[in-house]
Protein backbone atom coordinates (compact mmCIF):
# COMPACT_ATOMS: atom_id res chain seq x y z
CA UNK A 1 0.00 0.00 0.00
CA UNK A 2 1.34 3.45 -0.91
CA UNK A 3 2.33 5.65 1.97
CA UNK A 4 -0.13 8.48 2.59
CA UNK A 5 1.21 11.87 1.58
CA UNK A 6 2.10 14.04 4.53
CA UNK A 7 1.37 17.56 3.38
CA UNK A 8 1.24 20.77 5.38
CA UNK A 9 -0.12 24.03 3.99
CA UNK A 10 1.90 27.01 5.21
CA UNK A 11 0.48 30.54 4.85
CA UNK A 12 3.05 33.21 5.71
CA UNK A 13 3.48 36.55 3.95
CA UNK A 14 7.13 37.16 4.83
CA UNK A 15 9.29 35.39 2.23
CA UNK A 16 12.22 34.65 4.57
CA UNK A 17 10.00 33.21 7.29
CA UNK A 18 7.96 31.21 4.78
CA UNK A 19 11.15 29.67 3.38
CA UNK A 20 12.68 29.01 6.81
CA UNK A 21 9.57 27.28 8.15
CA UNK A 22 9.05 25.44 4.87
CA UNK A 23 12.58 24.07 4.99
CA UNK A 24 12.27 23.08 8.64
CA UNK A 25 8.95 21.33 8.05
CA UNK A 26 10.26 19.60 4.91
CA UNK A 27 13.25 18.33 6.91
CA UNK A 28 10.75 16.55 9.17
CA UNK A 29 9.34 14.57 6.25
CA UNK A 30 6.42 16.72 5.12
CA UNK A 31 5.66 18.13 1.72
CA UNK A 32 4.96 21.85 2.13
CA UNK A 33 2.50 23.88 0.08
CA UNK A 34 3.34 27.56 0.43
CA UNK A 35 0.94 30.50 0.37
CA UNK A 36 1.70 34.20 0.82
CA UNK A 37 -1.75 35.04 2.20
CA UNK A 38 -5.07 33.55 3.25
CA UNK A 39 -6.51 33.76 -0.25
CA UNK A 40 -3.68 31.64 -1.68
CA UNK A 41 -4.10 29.19 1.21
CA UNK A 42 -7.77 28.72 0.30
CA UNK A 43 -6.80 28.17 -3.34
CA UNK A 44 -4.42 25.37 -2.26
CA UNK A 45 -7.14 23.86 -0.10
CA UNK A 46 -9.53 23.82 -3.05
CA UNK A 47 -6.99 21.89 -5.13
CA UNK A 48 -5.33 19.60 -2.58
CA UNK A 49 -7.54 19.32 0.52
CA UNK A 50 -7.53 15.51 0.40
CA UNK A 51 -3.73 15.49 0.88
CA UNK A 52 -3.38 18.30 3.43
CA UNK A 53 -2.83 16.99 6.96
CA UNK A 54 -2.63 20.43 8.63
CA UNK A 55 -2.74 24.16 7.90
CA UNK A 56 -0.44 26.76 9.44
CA UNK A 57 -1.79 30.31 9.20
CA UNK A 58 -0.06 33.54 10.06
CA UNK A 59 -2.51 36.19 11.26
CA UNK A 60 -1.23 39.39 9.66
CA UNK A 61 -1.16 38.89 5.88
CA UNK A 62 -2.23 40.97 2.87
CA UNK A 63 -5.44 40.33 0.89
CA UNK A 64 -6.88 37.92 3.48
CA UNK A 65 -5.57 37.54 7.02
CA UNK A 66 -5.32 34.31 8.97
CA UNK A 67 -8.50 34.88 10.97
CA UNK A 68 -10.56 35.40 7.80
CA UNK A 69 -9.07 32.28 6.22
CA UNK A 70 -9.61 30.26 9.41
CA UNK A 71 -13.27 31.25 9.54
CA UNK A 72 -13.82 30.17 5.92
CA UNK A 73 -11.92 26.90 6.40
CA UNK A 74 -13.95 25.90 9.44
CA UNK A 75 -17.28 26.65 7.72
CA UNK A 76 -16.50 24.43 4.70
CA UNK A 77 -17.43 20.77 5.26
CA UNK A 78 -14.55 19.64 3.03
CA UNK A 79 -11.96 21.37 5.19
CA UNK A 80 -13.51 21.43 8.67
CA UNK A 81 -11.70 18.30 9.88
CA UNK A 82 -8.24 19.55 8.83
CA UNK A 83 -6.40 20.86 11.90
CA UNK A 84 -5.55 24.55 11.62
CA UNK A 85 -2.74 26.09 13.62
CA UNK A 86 -2.33 29.83 13.98
CA UNK A 87 1.32 30.79 14.13
CA UNK A 88 2.00 34.43 14.62
CA UNK A 89 4.35 36.94 16.18
CA UNK A 90 1.34 38.37 18.02
CA UNK A 91 1.52 37.15 21.60
CA UNK A 92 -1.64 38.45 23.23
CA UNK A 93 -4.63 36.81 24.85
CA UNK A 94 -7.22 38.49 22.61
CA UNK A 95 -5.74 36.97 19.46
CA UNK A 96 -5.37 33.56 21.12
CA UNK A 97 -9.00 33.62 22.27
CA UNK A 98 -10.22 34.72 18.83
CA UNK A 99 -8.20 31.96 17.11
CA UNK A 100 -9.62 29.25 19.37
CA UNK A 101 -13.16 30.67 19.08
CA UNK A 102 -12.87 30.49 15.27
CA UNK A 103 -11.80 26.85 15.47
CA UNK A 104 -7.98 26.86 15.54
CA UNK A 105 -6.52 23.73 17.07
CA UNK A 106 -3.50 25.53 18.49
CA UNK A 107 -1.90 28.96 18.67
CA UNK A 108 1.87 29.19 18.32
CA UNK A 109 3.99 32.27 18.86
CA UNK A 110 6.74 32.09 16.23
CA UNK A 111 9.47 33.48 18.47
CA UNK A 112 8.82 30.70 20.98
CA UNK A 113 9.10 27.72 18.58
CA UNK A 114 11.68 26.46 16.10
CA UNK A 115 10.31 24.81 12.96
CA UNK A 116 11.17 21.35 14.32
CA UNK A 117 9.38 22.10 17.62
CA UNK A 118 6.39 23.24 15.62
CA UNK A 119 6.36 19.97 13.66
CA UNK A 120 6.67 17.94 16.89
CA UNK A 121 3.56 19.66 18.24
CA UNK A 122 1.71 19.18 14.95
CA UNK A 123 2.67 15.48 14.92
CA UNK A 124 1.37 15.12 18.48
CA UNK A 125 -1.96 16.70 17.59
CA UNK A 126 -2.27 14.70 14.35
CA UNK A 127 -1.59 11.47 16.22
CA UNK A 128 -4.67 12.16 18.37
CA UNK A 129 -6.95 12.60 15.33
* Per-position DSSP letters for 87-111, written without gaps between them: EES---HHHHHHHHHTT-SEEEEGG
Task: Output the CA torsion sign for 106, 109, 115, 116.
Answer: negative
What's residue 1's pLDDT?
A: 42
**What does the pLDDT read at residue 2?**
47
Q: Are 48 and 40 in contact (CB under 8 A)?
A: no
Going residue by residue through the chain (129 aa), what tens digit of pLDDT does each one get? 445 668 999 999 999 999 999 999 999 889 999 999 999 999 999 999 999 999 999 999 999 999 999 999 999 999 988 999 999 999 999 999 999 999 999 999 998 988 888 888 888 888 876
Sheet bearing 52-57, strands edge to edge: 31-35, 7-11, 52-57, 84-88, 106-109
Its pTM stands at 0.92
What's the pLDDT score for residue 115?
Answer: 81
Quick one: CA dihedral 102, 108, 109, 110, positive or negative? negative
Backbone angles phi, psi at 99, to 5 degrees: -60, -45
Amino acid sequence: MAEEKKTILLAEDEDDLREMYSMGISNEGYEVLKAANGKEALEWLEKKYAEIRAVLLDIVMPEMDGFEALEIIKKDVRFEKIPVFIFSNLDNEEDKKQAIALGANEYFVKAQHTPSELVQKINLILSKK
